[in-house]
Amino acid sequence: MKPASFDYAVPRTVAEAVQALGDTDRTAQVLAGGQSLILEMHLQRIRPQLVVDINRIPELDGMRVDGDELRVGALVRHATFESADAVPGPLGTLLSRAVVNIAHPPIRSRGTMAGSFGWAHPASEWCAIGVALDATVEVTGPDGARSIPARDYFLGPYRTARRPQELITAVRLPLLGENTGVGFIEHRRTHFCFAQVAVAAALTVTDGVISDARIGLVNSADRPLRARAAEQALIGADFAPLPEGPRLPDDHPFARAGRAAAQEDAAPLAEPYADVEYKRQAIAVLVGRTLTEAATDLRSRLAPRQGGPR
């Protein structure tokens, strides 16, 4: 399980990194957190000839709010998002609810959000949130910098629109307003495996009506997926009080959205212990539950402002 030999470059600037990646004679991999890359090298599924370690490029570190967007530098570690206060508003809540599903503390202290976008695993939590919220991936290559909308970025399992000579410098996520509630629920067999299915949801309510809905599906296709049919099923619906009991009635908008996500949006791939039929079931159930969580989150957000009990 030892990695095969490779050359190693430690650029100090983005320009140096791009120059290193521009060496087309050698297959190159960018090393940020390395928690997927080095794992895959152990498993002999990746054998790069050049590893470009970007950890010593100061300009890639740090996260900042830029207008109505959060800009997450390529070296920002997963663990940064464990506190809901690390990022303003409901986006901080969403990221904090998602991040605890990413492996465990020693992995989260190394792995990076941008790295997840670079790796593009279909079961990545960040990538599903990215497509749901219309994130933007910033890359810099020999021809300069460009921004790729998440919807155009993911091409398949581990396949993205990033060119081999390009370096991801940041991921930008739109901030969410206070009239948005968020939820994230992951379903997996044990704490130490990828999600069978997970769902990210953000519900925006204007004047008592759902005005926007964002639903991201994890491991529900060969790439991270935004559940547009499910979202459409919600927009314009009354933001009514949640029904009593843990189960949604079949005719509840959230349940309908779940069925739409499972049947129309998702294109699940069979895996050991989760065939397509089961995955569709799990997607339908989890979308309903995650929307419920988002609705509850929104009520708790609105309640203090309306002076009501939390």
Partner 1 sequence: MERWTRREDERLLTGKGRYVADIHVPGCLDAAFVRSKVAHGSLRSVDCAAARDVPGVVGAWSAADLPDLPPVPYTLLARLSTEEAVAGREWPALVKDRVRYPGEALAVVLGEDRYRAEDGAAEVTAVVDPLPAVVTPSAALDDSVRLFDGLSNTALRGEAGAPIDPAVWQDAAAVVEATYRQQLLMPSPMECRTILAVPEGDRLTVWSGHQMPHRLRRELAALLGWSADRIRVVVPDTGGAFGSKSAAFPEFVVVAYLAVTLGRPVRWIEDRLESMLVATRGRGQDQTVRLAADAEGRLLAYELTINADVGAYPHLGVGLPMQTAWMAPGAYTTPHVHATLRSVLTNTMVTYPYRGAGRPEAAIAIERTMDLLARRLGVDPIELRRRNFIPPDAFPYDTPTGRRYDSGNYAAALDLALETVGYTEWRAEQARRRSDPDALPLGIGVSCYVERSGGEPGGLHEFGSLEVHEDGTVTARCGAAPSGQGHETVFPALVAKTLGIPEAQVRLVEGDTDEQPEGLGSFASRSAQVDGAMFQQTAGLLIEQARERAARLWDLPVDKVAWADGSVHTTSGDSAVLGLAELVKATGPLRVESRYEAGMAFPFGAHVAVTEVDPDLGTVNVLRLVAVDDCGVVLNPTVVHGQAYGSAVQGIGQALYEGMTFDADGVPHLASGFLDYLLPTYTEIPPIEIKDTCTPSPSTPLGAKGAGESGCIGTPAAIVNAVADALRIADPDLLQMPLTPDSVWRAARAPKHEEGVR
Partner 2 sequence: MKITLTVNGTAHALDVEPRRLLADVLRDDLGLTGTHLGCEHGICGACSVLMDGEAVRACLVLAVQCDGRSIRTVEGLAGPDGEPHPLQRAFSAEHALQCGFCTPGFLMVAAGALDADPDLADKPDAIEGVVGSNICRCTGYEPIRRAIARAAREKRETTA
Q: Which residues bind to partner 1, rule: CB under 8 A?
A: 1-2, 4-5, 42-45, 187, 189-194, 196, 244-247, 272-275, 278, 281-282, 285-286
The entry of partner 1, partner 2, none that residue 12 binds, CB within 5 to 8 Å by partner kind? none
CA 34 – CA 110 distance, rounded (Å): 7
* Among 181, 246, 183, 249, residue whose Cα is nearest residue 218: 183
133 half-sphere exposure, CB direction, 13 A CA radius = 32
Query: Taken in order 189, 98, 246, 220, is the CA torsion positive or negative?
Result: negative
The entry of partner 2, partner 1, none that residue 305 binds, CB within 5 to 8 Å by partner kind? none
Token pair in block for residue 16: 């140096």
The entry of partner 1, partner 2, none that residue 245 binds, CB within 5 to 8 Å by partner kind? partner 1
The entry of partner 2, partner 1, none that residue 275 binds, CB within 5 to 8 Å by partner kind? partner 1
The entry of partner 1, partner 2, none that residue 38 binds, CB within 5 to 8 Å by partner kind? partner 2
How far apart are CB 16 and partner 2 at their closest, in Å? 16
Give me the residues that bind partner 2 (CB under 8 A), please. 1-8, 10, 31, 34-35, 38-39, 42-43, 51, 53, 55, 104-107, 109-110, 191-192
Instruction: Report the SS3 class of residue 113.
Output: helix
How far apart are CB 213 and partner 1 at their closest, in Å? 22
How far apart are CB 224 and partner 2 at their closest, in Å? 22
Token look-up 């599924």 returns 45
CA 195 – CA 66 distance, rounded (Å): 32
The entry of partner 2, partner 1, none that residue 101 binds, CB within 5 to 8 Å by partner kind? none
The entry of partner 1, partner 2, none that residue 68 binds, CB within 5 to 8 Å by partner kind? none
CA 76 – CA 57 distance, rounded (Å): 12
How far apart are CB 50 and partner 2 at their closest, in Å? 10
CA 256 – CA 229 distance, rounded (Å): 10
Token pair in block for residue 38: 């080095």
- 225 contact partners, CB below 8 Å, separation of at least 6: 128, 131, 216, 217, 265, 266, 267
4 vs 240 by CB, closer to partner 2? 4
How far apart are CB 106 and partner 2 at their closest, in Å? 4
User: Is residue 102 within 8 Å of residue 78, measured between CB atoms?
Assistant: yes
CA 48 – CA 268 distance, rounded (Å): 30
How far apart are CB 121 and partner 1 at their closest, in Å? 11
154 vs 194 by CB, closer to partner 1? 194
34 vs 118 by CB, closer to partner 2? 34
Phi-psi region of 306 (alpha: psi -120 to 50; beta: other; left: phi over 0): alpha
104 vs 159 by CB, closer to partner 2? 104
CA 279 – CA 286 distance, rounded (Å): 10
How far apart are CB 174 and partner 1 at their closest, in Å? 31
